[in-house]
Structure 1
């Protein structure tokens, strides 16, 4: 767990079901294009429960790690960060995240991400963390820059959006020796 200011970043648990569903529901429209799995698997509370059980099982298998950012004053989940596409032979992982629309542009995502990246490099001993994003996702591009990621290239025809369009993605990487420092 990582606690700072009024927030705690911690692993997602099954008892987060309703709070997680509410986070997704509040942001569903924003998540449609680039969180296809999340949007399609959380259409109602029962589907969301099954989805959470599956991703928690993947965590137990060390192949996927979901985290949530909880606000202390409301106990509301306000962000989600995950580690996926983990390759333990390197070791490296892809990172993804979204923050509640009401907190967009506040700097909370950058601060949380910097603290989390430090944690990931130390705890999991990753050598590299990468992220993929579409050129239209200005928030993700800014986050990559703010957190010290370097653009490594564009992979063509790399992702299918919820609408079925196959799009190019920009790849950004961060090495453990390039770890950003968060100011708290």
Structure 2
């Protein structure tokens, strides 16, 4: 668990189901293009419960780690950060992140993401972290750069959006210092 200002970053638990479902419902439109799996698997409360059980189970196999950023003042979920596409042979992993629209643009996610990056290197022992984002996602690009990630290149035709469009992604990487 990481705590800063009035926020904490902690593993997502099944007890977060109602708050997590609300976060997705409220931000569904913003998330639909680049969080295809999440949006498609959380259409109903029941679907979301099944989805959470599945992703929480994956952490026991060290395949996936879902975290939330929580406001300690009101216990709202401010955002979500996950560790995915883990390759323990290197070891490296991809980070993903989204923020509730009411908390976006306030520097909370930037601070959380930077702290979380350090945590991933130190706690999990990753040698490299990376993230992929679309060229239109300026917030994610700024987030990556503030956390010390550097552009390593563009991956052509690397992601299929909810609308079925296959798009290029900018690849950012950061090596453990």
For Structure 1 versus Structure 2, the TM-score category normalised by the shorter chain is over 0.9
**Deviation at 1:70?**
0.8
Cα deviation 1:95-150 (Å, max 9, x = unaligned)? 00001111111111110011111111000000000000000001001111111111
The residue aligned with 1:76 is 76
Distance 1:82 1:18 in 2: 19
Q: What is the TM-score normalised by the length of structure 1?
A: 0.95
Distance 1:164 1:74 in 2: 38
Structure 1: 5+ residue stretches without partners: 178-184
Distance 2:155 2:42 in 1: 28
Where 1:43 maps in the other structure, the secondary structure is coil
The residue aligned with 1:171 is 171
The residue aligned with 2:154 is 154
Where 2:28 maps in the other structure, the secondary structure is helix
**Deviation at 1:5?**
1.0
Please state if 1:6 is matched with 2:6: yes
The residue aligned with 2:36 is 36
Structure 2: 5+ residue stretches without partners: none
What is the aligned residue count? 177
The residue aligned with 2:131 is 131
The residue aligned with 1:103 is 103
**Deviation at 1:4?**
1.1
**Deviation at 1:10?**
0.2
Query: Over aligned residues, Cα RMSD in angstroms?
Result: 0.5
Distance 1:30 1:36 in 2: 11
Q: What is the TM-score normalised by the length of structure 2?
A: 0.99
The residue aligned with 2:67 is 67
Where 2:102 maps in the other structure, the secondary structure is helix
